[in-house]
Amino acid sequence: MIDLTLTELKDALARGDFSARELTAAYLQRIREHNGTLNAYITVTEEQALAAADASDARRARGEAGLLEGLPVAHKDIFCTRDVRTSCGSLMLDTFNAPYDATVVARMADAGAIMLGKTNMDEFAMGSSNETSYYGPVRNPWDTARVPGGSSGGAAAAVAGRLAPAATGTDTGGSIRQPAALCGVTGLKPTYGRVSRWGMIAFASSLDQAGPMAHTAADCALLLQAMAGHDDKDSTCVNEPVTDYCAALSGDISGLTIGLPEEFFPDDLDGRIADATQAVVRVLEQRGARVAKVSLPSVALSVPAYYVIAPAEASSNLSRFDGVRYGHRCDDPADLMDLYKRSRSEGFGEEVKRRILVGTYALSHGYYDAYYLRAQKVRRLIRDDFKRAFEQCDVLLGPTSPELAFALGSKKDDPVTMYMADVFTIAVNLAGLPALSMPAGFIDGLPVGVQLIGNYFDEGRLLNVAHSYQQETEWHRQAPALGGTA
């Protein structure tokens, strides 16, 4: 049963092929066998999962099945989960049991989903390889010597390795799409404000957005249906009616115009990735889509603008981790300054400290205009670029990542090269647009992902285009050989 998609599992549960308890037990077994290798989970909530599965079976027996009834999911450890450790991949929160559930967690539970555990991630979602986690790196199920991408690397590896049929992720600069691409799963970053950020530990508030990760676009549609919608607790969560995403999956894309931004196909792009991307375009053309060339000239500035704005917001967001109320506190502080300095020096890892310093610098007196304000101007230019592009086309398409899964440790000491891993994904966050990554083939046994970018609140169309592609291809059904029971 673990090779079924979420949508298929939903149908099988509805038919009574197996119970939620049997399904949950199968995934827990799978986690026991492979999490030691993959390190995809920080915390496995076995007892709660089985109890929740029993409750779900009882609900179904009473005829009260919700949208995600009995379906196991894994939550990224950035989402607060009541009375369950919520570490954010950091020593700082190693002992932190959240006193409440994030809106995403609560809504999925209300829809009947069963939490298997909390997935590994780059510390405070800062990283593109999952190597900055305090709990050690996650390994790519397709090649355990390679990274799964990040920051939602644990989520991507868990889905790819069949340690969960679906997972939640968050995406600030590509943290859902890039690991989805590197692990061969489908992942959607919704429009900024589509999904509530309440209970999602903030990295860069104006960029962070939660979204689903699963095998197929149809699975993501199902998950987004449960996650999306207005929330009084998040002022930036938009009060816009939620599309019926599942109903949007007609598979019909005739007459659709796909824009290919020239900036997403630079001369130095890995030719194999360019070819795989063009192959996707051909499939979509065969299914009735038209292609247009477009340009997003300001996208070249997105990485530098992002690495001002995101660290600036992070430097402020992470100030609350001061050793006073919760989280890591140093032993025997001599005075208040010592408490702050040592608690934060010990509690945060290198990459987090680097970004706090960068952000503090960017906001400091005399530099604010040159860095932060300038980056905000770039952000407007990028938004305008996309706006113009969407006057000519319905969706944009390009590679998700400029490279395949790289070897563990290969970029650890070169942060700037690491930052370039998000060169195709970051502009989307700066503009607040929805975007999706879907499996588009393999190169040397490693998955390639292709990114689709949509207009604001056009998640339904994005999912339908991916669904149409997945009706035609089998890349999303491939499973890595991890061995063990199936």
Partner 1 sequence: MSWETVIGLEVHVQLATRTKIFSGASTAFGAEPNSQACLIDMAMPGTLPVVNHEAIRNAVRFGLAIGAKINQRSVFERKNYFYPDLPKGYQTTQLEAPIVGAGEVEIRLEDGSTRTVRIHHAHLEEDAGKSLHEDFHGMTGIDLNRAGTPLIEIVTEPDMRTAEEAVAFARKLHALVTSIGICDGDMSQGSMRFDVNVSVRKSGDPLGTRTETKNLNSFRFMEKAIALEIRRQIDLLEDGGTVQQETRLYNGDSNTARAMRTKEDANDYRYFPCPDLLPVEITEDDIEALRASLPELPDARRDRFTRDFGLPDYDAEIISASRDMSDYFEQAAEHAGDAKLAANWMLGEMSARLNAEEIGIGKSPVSAAHLGQLIQRIKDGTISSKIAKQVFDACWQGNGSPDEIIEREGLKQVSDTGELEKIVDGIIADNAEQVAAFKAADEKKQKKMFGFFVGQAMKATQGKANPQQINQLLQKKLQD
Where along the sequence are the contacts to partner 1 (CB under 8 A)?
A: 79-80, 86, 88, 93, 96, 98-100, 102, 197-202, 204-206, 232-236, 312-313, 315-316, 318-322, 324-326, 336, 340, 360, 363-365, 368, 372
> Which CB atom, from 119 or from 470, has the smaller least distance to partner 1?
119
Give me the least distance between CB of 96 and partner 1, in Å please: 7
- Choice between 42 and 404, CB closer to partner 1: 42
Closest distance of CB 192 from partner 1, Å = 10
By beta-carbon proximity to partner 1, the closer residue of 319 and 392 is: 319
Question: Which residue reads 């796909």 in tokens?
Answer: 258
Is the CB of 27 or the CB of 96 nearer to partner 1?
Answer: 96
Burial group, residue 412, by CB count within 10 angstroms (0-12, 13-18, 19+): middle
Whether 108 contacts 166, CB under 8 Å: no
CB 338 to partner 1: min, Å: 12
Could you tell me which of 248, 215, 249, 244 has the C-alpha nearest to residue 8?
A: 215
- Which one of the listed residues 175, 302, 315, 343 is annotated catalytic? 175
Query: HSE on the CB side for 284, CA within 13 Å?
Result: 30
Q: Which two tokens stand for residue 241?
A: 């009616």
Which of the 8 DSSP states describes residue 91?
A: G
Half-sphere exposure of 300 (CA within 13 A, CB side): 7
Q: Exactly one of 10, 76, 118, 189 is catalytic; which is it? A: 76
- Please say whether the beta carbons of 345 and 322 come within 8 A: no
Among candidate residues 56, 87, 128, 151, the one labeled active-site is: 151
Is 151 among the catalytic positions?
Answer: yes
- Quote the least distance from Cβ 438 to partner 1, whole Å: 29
Are 189 and 429 in contact, with CB atoms under 8 Å apart? yes
The answer to whether residues 302 and 336 touch, using CB atoms and an 8 Å cutoff, is no
d(CA 229, CA 376): 27
Active site residue 128: no
- Amino acid at residue number 398: G
Q: How far is the CB of 91 from partner 1 (least distance, A)?
A: 14
Catalytic residue numbers, as ranges = 76, 151, 175
